[in-house]
Amino acid sequence: MLSYDEYQSKAAGLSFRNQCWIDGAFVPAVSGETFAAINPATGKKLTDVARGSAADIDRAVASARAAFEDGRWSRKTPGERKEVLLRLAQLIRDNLTELALLDTLDMGKPISETVNVDVPGSAMFFQWHAEAVDKLYDEIAPTGGRDVAMVRRMPLGVVGAVVPWNFPLDMATWKLAPALATGNSVVLKPAEQSPLSALFLAELAKEAGLPDGVLNVVPGFGEDAGQALGRHPDVDCLVFTGSTAVGKLFQRYAGESNMKQVWLETGGKSPNLIFADADLDKAADMAAFGIFFNQGEVCSANSRLLVQKDIAEVFIAKLKTRAEAIKQGDPLDPETTMGAMVDAQHATRVASYLAVGKEDARLVTGGNRITIGSSDAFVQPTIFADVPAHSRIVREEIFGPVLAVQTFDTDEDALALANDTEFGLAASIWTADLSRAMDLSDRLNVGTVSVNTVDALSPMTPFGGVKQSGFGRDLSIHSFDKYTALKTIWVKY
């Protein structure tokens, strides 16, 4: 890590890529319009970004389609695509500080996290998918006789990707790495709050050898650029990470247009179950991380804590100590452990839940929106106990540093509470009893169960949800399923 002074001076010297990236070059929006990229930790403008809309999406899709059809990338061998994406992984590492600064400035998360988690993660995910793609074998069906029936994985064509702002570089990477590795062309629409790292990434991809047109990035607003991509007749597949409400819109866009495939990674309200036989100090460390990491702006945040009654007060006291040790401040300061909410509007939304919590439950710590420096986009790490099952703070995704604590007696009570939600992304269980952990893991309606840890995640394991947390999986070999269609080629001889 560099020092606070060094990050400040590097941030002051940055030049931002702020136009649409189409066909291998930066171009202004057709309309000439722009929108402001704001640093939420200061409230100050970073740059004006091209505001792409339907006309720009049309150009980007045409470029992606042309690239796909002439085979400049789609008909390269997996080994050739691997080489390019491995170079991109290396370029991400070579430009670590700049990429980290872009996400930290654009959405307010601590520099220690973009430097140590987000940017190395992006390089690792590109590397992993690149290395995997030339180890995937096609199949021959067991027809017997004078027949050979091949089952081949084919790229889909043009993939539209619409991603959120909470891990700007990583959420883009989770879609781009498997989509590009398998030979597709992509049009990416980053969140309006965080377009800067994706635009720099596109330039790095060209430097790595990705042919023009294969990756296009159109910054803009969801209602116009995002919707235009979702409704585009020449997009074969739309992959989305974001809120459940917007995910449902993409299903509608597809149904009302060309029935493109839609894969959704959406919201969560993930439970963390703490049993009396757990290592309570370790559990408290990780429960605090599970809700407060990234300002709580994590889809799989452990935002509901379910704790066994006999240890509830002891455990809440441990959590309170940890919440109060969090250092909020300027995200460019390497000592900061919690930054700003992504923007003032989101801070207002999170603060509205603080008011609900104070009405419905017992405030243990935090509970306020605060001003640091020139920005009021900060929210204190907050814990509410005695939260009734009907309260909106335990039912709705807050997407901020707000923990709702409930208690239970038996395993069955814990399971019933845990599954009593419209979401199904992740869950955690803390216990020394392996049979209990396995039994509950089987019965929790979620995509990932972490036992004696939280948010277990790696490029080797699939990530995604059930219920209204979405469907389809990012990461792992299984992520390739979203970006390829099986084709049967049957030969008689």
Task: Give residues in contact with ligand NAP (CB under 6 A).
Answer: 162-166, 171, 189, 191-193, 221-223, 226-227, 230, 241-243, 246, 249, 265-268, 299, 397, 399, 425, 465, 469-470
Smallest distance from ligand NAP to CB 451, Å: 20
Please check whether residue 122 is in contact with residue 173, taking contact to mean a CB–CB distance below 8 angstroms: yes
Q: Looking at this protein, which amino acid is placed at residue 373? A: G
Residue nearest to ligand NAP (CB): 222
Rounded to an integer, what is the distance from CA 83 to the centroid of its chain? 26
Closer residue to ligand NAP, CB minimum distance, 121 or 268: 268
Q: List the catalytic residue out of 20, 113, 237, 265.
A: 265
Q: End-to-end alpha-carbon separation of the chain, Å?
A: 64
Strand pairing partners for 140?
A: 150
Residue 465: φ, ψ to 5°:
-125, 180
Query: What's 9's DSSP letter?
Result: H
Strand pairing partners for 34?
A: 50
Closer residue to ligand NAP, CB minimum distance, 74 or 295: 295
Burial of 12 (0-12, 13-18, 19+ CB in 10 A): exposed
- The pair of structure tokens assigned to 119 is 């940017």
Please check whether residue 331 is in contact with residue 104, taking contact to mean a CB–CB distance below 8 angstroms: yes
Closer residue to ligand NAP, CB minimum distance, 339 or 470: 470
Q: Is 265 a catalytic residue?
A: yes
Distance, in Å, from the CA atom of 368 to the CA atom of 391, rounded to the nearest integer, reads 19
The answer for residues whose C-beta is within 8 angstroms of residue 225's C-beta and 6 or more apart is 51, 52, 53, 54, 56, 57, 189, 218, 219
Smallest distance from ligand NAP to CB 457, Å: 10
Smallest distance from ligand NAP to CB 173, Å: 12
Please check whether residue 306 is in contact with residue 414, taking contact to mean a CB–CB distance below 8 angstroms: yes
Smallest distance from ligand NAP to CB 436, Å: 27
Please check whether residue 262 is in contact with residue 232, taking contact to mean a CB–CB distance below 8 angstroms: no
Distance, in Å, from the CA atom of 206 to the CA atom of 187, rounded to the nearest integer, reads 15
Smallest distance from ligand NAP to CB 193, Å: 6
Distance, in Å, from the CA atom of 86 to the CA atom of 124, rounded to the nearest integer, reads 10
Closer residue to ligand NAP, CB minimum distance, 299 or 312: 299
Q: List the catalytic residue out of 20, 237, 297, 299.
A: 299
Smallest distance from ligand NAP to CB 463, Å: 6
Task: Give the count of beta carbons closer than 10 Å to the beta carbon of residue 53.
Answer: 20
Smallest distance from ligand NAP to CB 208, Å: 24
Closer residue to ligand NAP, CB minimum distance, 10 or 349: 349
Closer residue to ligand NAP, CB minimum distance, 185 or 468: 468
Distance, in Å, from the CA atom of 109 to the CA atom of 332, rounded to the nearest integer, reads 9
User: What is the secondary structure of 76-115 as a DSSP string?
Assistant: S-HHHHHHHHHHHHHHHHHTHHHHHHHHHHHH---HHHII
Query: What's 271's DSSP letter?
Result: E
Q: Is 237 a catalytic residue?
A: no
Closer residue to ligand NAP, CB minimum distance, 217 or 316: 217
Smallest distance from ligand NAP to CB 429, Å: 20
The helix, strand and coil proportions of the chain, stated in percent and rounded to the nearest 5, come to 45, 25, 35
Please check whether residue 158 is in contact with residue 132, taking contact to mean a CB–CB distance below 8 angstroms: no
Smallest distance from ligand NAP to CB 103, Å: 14
Closer residue to ligand NAP, CB minimum distance, 108 or 242: 242
Query: What's 211's DSSP letter?
Result: P
Closer residue to ligand NAP, CB minimum distance, 183 or 465: 465
Catalytically active residues, by annotation: 265, 299
